Every structure is written in C-alpha cells, then in structure tokens.
Structure 1
Amino acid sequence: MRAIRHHSFGPSDVLRLEELPDLVPAPGQLRIAVEAAGVHLLDTSIRAGASFGLGAPPALPAIPGREVAGVVDRVGAGADDSWLGQRVVAHLGPAGNGYAEQAVVDANRAYLIPDGLDAPSAVATIGTGRTAAAIIEFAPIGPDDLIAVPSAAGGLGLLLLQAARNAGATAIGLAGGSGKTALLPRFGASTVIDYRVEGWQRGLDGLGPITAVFDGVGGEVGQALYDRLGPGGRLIRYGWASGVQNTYDDPSRAVIDILGPPIMSRLAEFERAALDAAADGSRVPYVGSVFPLADAAAAHRALETRAAVGKVVLAVRR
C-alpha cells in the first residue's frame, strides 16, 4: 500500500509518500480500503513536533491522520463477515495511521456511512462533526442567543453556524479574508466580519451584548469577543489556533473548556450524533479543500497558512 510518513519532526516537506506492506487486520478488526482521509490542524502541529494534543509524541516513522472512510475489504478473526464490502467511516484515535491506502480499526469503532454521504464528508463528520456535537451538548444554543464564531470558515466553524441557525439564534461569523467571509451567510451568519481588516471590532457595535463565543482561536480575537460578552454570557473554548491561550477571570462570564475529559468518555455518542445530523441535513460538513494523497504536504501548508476553507481532506482512492 502507499502511505504518507515522516521520519522526523519538522516542516511539511518531511512528509513522504512511501510503499509499505499491506496491513493484516488483527482479531476483531476490519481493514478499510481508504477512499478519503481527514486532515486536521493538530496533524500539522504533531508533524512539526510543536504540540501533541492530549496524546504522547508518536513513534517515528509515523503515518499522520486519524479519520478515514472507505470500503471494508478484509476482516480479522472473530469479526463479522457481513462487514465485507460495506462503506464505513472510523476515527482511528491518537495512534493515527490515516494517510494511507489501508487502515485497520476495531469493528466496534466503525460506522456505516449514511446513504447520500460521500467519503470526504464522512471523514469530516466523524472527527470535526463529533467535536461540534460535543460543543452543542455542553453549551446549548437557544433562540435568544447572539453568538460569535471566530474562524467561522473552518470545518468546525461552519458546523457551529448551522447549529445556531437550527436553534433560531443570531450568529456573527468572523473569518480572515473576503473569500472566507463571503461563504458565511450561506451557513447561517447574519453578520460577517473580516478580522484581518483594521478596526474590525467596530463591526460588533450596535449588535447588542454577545451571549456566547465559540472560540477555537484565542489570542487577540478571542479576547476582543470575550470583552463583548454580556453578563451571564459564556465563552466556549475548544482550542487556541492563534497560539495564545488567554486567561479570563470574570466570574460573571464563564469559560467552558470542551476538549479533554468532558468528552473523552462519550466519543462514540458524539460520533453517532454527528453522523445522524449529517444524514438528516441539519449539520452537514463543508469539504472545501481536497488534495491527492501524494500532496499531503500541500494540505498541511494550506492549514498552516490559513488558506484552507472548510474541512481539508486527502483523496486516497478514486
């Protein structure tokens, strides 16, 4: 099989397309002929050796990627033969190994892809979609909410805009560049702001007190939005892509941290909820950037330079 590996930590050009032995599923496992693999910002920081999320550094050489979709072409001992030929999607967990033509996963961690959902959308759902489902569970949105979503043109931001629209809330979408902000009304933003424009904070004037900030950015943008929260408002934090994790200390405006222990014991529940929402059309991932497997380095650069829109996916087989 072909796979992307890196033998050292470093810039995107450490990623190499290599020929590796075919995988053999262990007892209870399925082997997936991968059609699409998800690419995440965390993949880039792991590759760079800068941050490893909640996990330990991978043993090198490593195959990045944790989200795959494709067709089951082999089953291990004890796994049900009825899986053969089924279109499935799976999150591989912190071990990764997703940027490859084959992946193995325990049968109880695989899901049938809902009808009407293609492989790129399925990988966006199983990873980014489950995070959106968790955020909505821990910080419900109501019709009286005025919410702000920075990095709204990313895969997660676009799902949160849809969730706000479904709840009847008013949503402010913030993104960098006119190409990104133009996309946001389609997904439910009633106000759009380009935070690359000097004085962008003035775009918040007259909108009323924000009741919820869904923040994966942190830094200056996160702080400015927190400052606009009304009493009793909340900032829901699921990352700090700016590299700056702000400290907030106003007890009247709570900070709710989503990632880590709050969701780890319920991952399967959130994955199922995300797939159901994609299937019924209520929260459908937007796959804005698809790269061939061999161009994984370019996919990483698109994320690192903020050039990507929506979910970034590798097309492994066509």
Structure 2
Amino acid sequence: MHAVRLHAFGPAENLTYERTDDPAPGPGQVRIAVAAAGVHLLDTALRQGLTGPYPAPAVLPTIPGREVAGTVESLGEGVGADWLGKRVVVHLGMVPGGYAELAVADTTRLHEIPAGLGEAEAVAMIGTGRTTLGILQFTDLGPDDIALVPAAAGGIGTLLVQYAKNAGATVIGLAGGPAKAALVAANGADLAVDYTRPDWAGEVSAYLGDRGATVVFDSVGGATGLAAVGLLAKGGKHLVFGWSGAGPHDGEPLSFTEEELTERGITSESVLGPVMLEKAGGDIRVLEERSLAEAAAGRLRPAVQRFPLAEAARAHRALETRGTVGKVVLEP
C-alpha cells in the first residue's frame, strides 16, 4: 500500500509518501480501505516530537493519523462476517496509522457510517464533532444566549456556530481575514468579524450595545481570547478548549484567579480531557454516536478541506499557518 510515514521528527517536509507493507488485522480487528483520514493540529505537534494529550511516537518510522473512514475489506480472527463491506468510521485512539490506503482498527471502536453521510464528513464528526458536542455539555444554549466563537471558521468553530444558531442563540463569530469572515457569515453567524483588524473588539462591543456575551468558546487564548473574555456579561461563561493562537500575540492559555473571576462576575473552565469524559458518563462513544447522528440528520454540517494523501506535508503546512477552513482531510 501507499502511506505517509515520518522517519525523523521535524518539519512538515519530513512526511514522506511511500510504499510500505499492508497491515494485517489481528484478532478482533478489521482492515479498512481508507477513503478519508483526518488531520488534527495535534498531528503537527507529534510530528515535531512534542508530547501533549498523546505521547510522541516512541519508534520511528511511524504512520501518523488517528481518524479514518472507509470500507471494511478484511477481517481478523473472531470478527463477525457481517462487518465485511460495511462503510465505517473510527477514532484509533492512542494508536496511529491513519495516513494510509489501508488501516486496521478494533471492532470495539468502529461505527457504521449512516446512510447519506460521506466518508470525509464522517471523519470530521468522529473527532471534531465529538469534541464539539463534548464542549457543549458545559452550557445549555437557548434564545437568551449570546455566543462568542473565536476561530469560527475552523472545524469546531463551524459546528459551534451551527449548534448555537439551532438553539436560537445570537452568534458572533471571529475569523482571520475577510474571506474566512465571509464563510462564517454564510454559516449563519449573526455577526462575523475579522479578528485581524485592530478594532475588532470595538466592532463587537458596538453590536452588543449594553449587552454582553453569555458564553465564549475559547480555543485560541492569548490576546484574542482575553479580548473576547472582556466582552462577557456578568454571569457569563468562558469555556476553554485550546490555545492555538489566532493573532500575533496569541498561543498562550488564559487563566484567572478566583478574585479576578469574582470581580468580573464570570466563570472560566477548561472543558477538555477527563472532565469532558466524565460529563459523557465515562464513555467517549456516546459523544461519537451523537456527533454522527447530528450530521446524518443534517443538523450539523462539517466544513471539510480535502488534500490528496500524497500531499500530507502540504496539509500540515497549511494547518500550521492557519491556511485551512474546517476539518482537514486526506484522501488516497
């Protein structure tokens, strides 16, 4: 098969498209003919040898990627024949191997792709979608809410805007540049703002008048995140799920003392990791199933940017330089 392999930690150019041995499904596993493989910002950190929520690969070369959709074409020992030929999507968890024409996965992790949902969209929902629904467990959006979404043109941001609008909330989306801001507006945001403009916070404040946002979905941190928190009303929520950086001085997580929060009359909470899983009853599959169901019903529509599998390095560069919109997907 062809796959993208990493032989040495470093820049995106270290990802090489090459031939390698086909993987064999073990007991309780299936082999999937990959139609779409997800690319996550975390992949770019692991490529550099950095450790985060997942450890950096202990052995090189490795095939990156943890989100895969395609058709089951081979069965391991003990796997029921009814899996053969099914369209499936899977988050591989701690085990990489997604950037390839073939991938193996445990049947316990598989989801059958609902009819009418494409493989690329299913890949977006198995990772980005489940995280979005996990974040939304921490707030009960309704018509009285004003949701402020930095990075609103990204994979999670796109879905947050849609969900909030479906709930009847007023939605303000921030995006980098006029083209991305236009996409956010087309996605349904009541106000779409280019955060690269120095007066963006003033524009949002003028729109709000004497009101304030009730929730900020913060994945950027730094100066942009801090300015967004400054637009919260008393009683507002600051939900943190990243600090990727949206502006030149971003890329640092925000933290506030109890005294600062009390003075502002707001709350701030990190919603990733164990707390998200606990909210889901300890079963991440609950969020995955909800995510796929929302997409199949058309209530959530993931934005997908496709790259050929052979151009994984270009996809990584684009993601690192904020040159992508929505979920990045590789297609063999």
Give the TM-score normalised by the residue count of structure 2: 0.92
The aligned runs of 1:78-93 (5 Å cut-off) are: 78-93=78-93
Q: Do structure 1's residue 210 and structure 2's residue 213 form an aligned pair?
A: yes
1:69, distance to aligned residue in structure 2 (A): 0.4
Aligned match of 2:76: 76
Q: Do structure 1's residue 42 and structure 2's residue 25 form an aligned pair?
A: no
Which of 293, 300, 310 does residue 326 from structure 2 map onto? 310
Give the TM-score normalised by the residue count of structure 1: 0.96
Q: Do structure 1's residue 238 and structure 2's residue 241 form an aligned pair?
A: yes
Distance 1:213 1:192, change over 3 A: same
1:49, distance to aligned residue in structure 2 (A): 2.4
Which of 271, 281, 289 does residue 298 from structure 2 map onto? 281
**Structure 2 portions without partners, runs of 5+:** 246-250
How many residues in Structure 1 have an aligned counterpart in Structure 2?
314
CA contact (8 A) 1:89 1:113 kept: yes
Partners of 2:143 and 2:238 in 1: CA distance: 17
Distance 1:256 1:266, change over 3 A: farther
Aligned match of 1:188: 188
Aligned match of 2:255: 247
Is the partner of 1:5 in helix, strand or coil?
strand
CA contact (8 A) 1:219 1:244 kept: yes
Partners of 1:286 and 1:266 in 2: CA distance: 26
Partners of 1:29 and 1:11 in 2: CA distance: 33
Partners of 1:22 and 1:303 in 2: CA distance: 28
Q: Do structure 1's residue 3 and structure 2's residue 3 form an aligned pair?
A: yes
1:188, distance to aligned residue in structure 2 (A): 2.1
1:55, distance to aligned residue in structure 2 (A): 2.0
CA contact (8 A) 2:205 2:231 kept: no
Deviations 1:93-142 (A, max 9, x none): 12221101111111121111111111111100100000011111222212
Partners of 2:18 and 2:161 in 1: CA distance: 39
Partners of 2:65 and 2:140 in 1: CA distance: 30
Paired letter, 2:52:
G
Partners of 2:326 and 2:125 in 1: CA distance: 12
Partners of 2:49 and 2:99 in 1: CA distance: 18
**Structure 1 portions without partners, runs of 5+:** none
Partners of 2:227 and 2:198 in 1: CA distance: 13
1:39, distance to aligned residue in structure 2 (A): 0.7
Aligned match of 1:105: 105
1:53, distance to aligned residue in structure 2 (A): 2.4
1:215, distance to aligned residue in structure 2 (A): 0.8
Partners of 2:118 and 2:303 in 1: CA distance: 12
Q: Do structure 1's residue 145 and structure 2's residue 145 form an aligned pair?
A: yes
Structure 1's consecutive aligned runs of 4 or more residues displaced over 3 angstroms after TM superposition are none
Partners of 1:197 and 1:94 in 2: CA distance: 39
1:284, distance to aligned residue in structure 2 (A): 1.6
Partners of 1:138 and 1:81 in 2: CA distance: 40
Identity %: 50
Which of 256, 274, 296 does residue 269 from structure 2 map onto? 256
